[in-house]
């Protein structure tokens, strides 16, 4: 997996956990960039702000998400729990149900 794809996946995981802690503007720009795959220029046109403002907001929001994770470690803990479940002796149906609840039920 490329570094860009790893970062993309990681930021999306952090957004799921900590997104509500960001400002509406930060959350909106991150969603447009990471979920809808819009370019900085497309976002700046849509929001009628400069491309550099979009870039700055993206960087500050990513820093906040990473800071929250460094302090709270929720994503790290969730990944460890998922790994334990995958390696458990539960049948596949039980594993999938637990993983689904862990991923979408929190």
Please tell me the predicted confidence (pLDDT) of residue 106: 54
Find tokens 């550099």 and name the residue. 52
Tokens of 60: 């500050």
**Cα–Cα distance measured from residue 88 to residue 96, given in angstroms and rounded to the nearest whole number:** 12
**What pLDDT score does 96 carry?**
85
What does the buried/exposed string (b/e) look like for 39-67 if buried means 16 or more CB atoms within 10 Å of the residue's CB? ebeebbeeeeeeeeebeebbeebbebbee
Predicted confidence (pLDDT) per residue in 25-49, tens digit? 999 999 999 999 999 999 999 999 9
pLDDT per residue as tens digits for the range 53-105: 999 999 999 999 999 999 999 999 989 988 888 888 888 888 888 888 877 77
pLDDT recorded at residue 37: 92
pLDDT of residue 97: 87
Q: What is the pLDDT of residue 86?
A: 85
């Amino acid at each position: 997996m490329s570094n860009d794809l790893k970062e993309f996946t990681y930021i999306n995981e952090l957004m799921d956990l900590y997104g509500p802690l960001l400002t509406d503007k930060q959350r909106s720009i991150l969603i447009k960039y990471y979920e809808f795959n819009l370019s900085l220029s497309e976002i700046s046109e849509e929001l009628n702000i400069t491309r550099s403002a979009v870039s700055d907001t993206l960087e500050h929001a990513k820093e906040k998400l990473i800071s929250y994770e460094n302090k709270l470690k929720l994503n790290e803990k969730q990944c460890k729990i998922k790994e334990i479940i995958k390696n458990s002796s539960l049948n596949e149906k039980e594993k999938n149900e637990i993983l689904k609840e862990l991923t979408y039920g929190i």
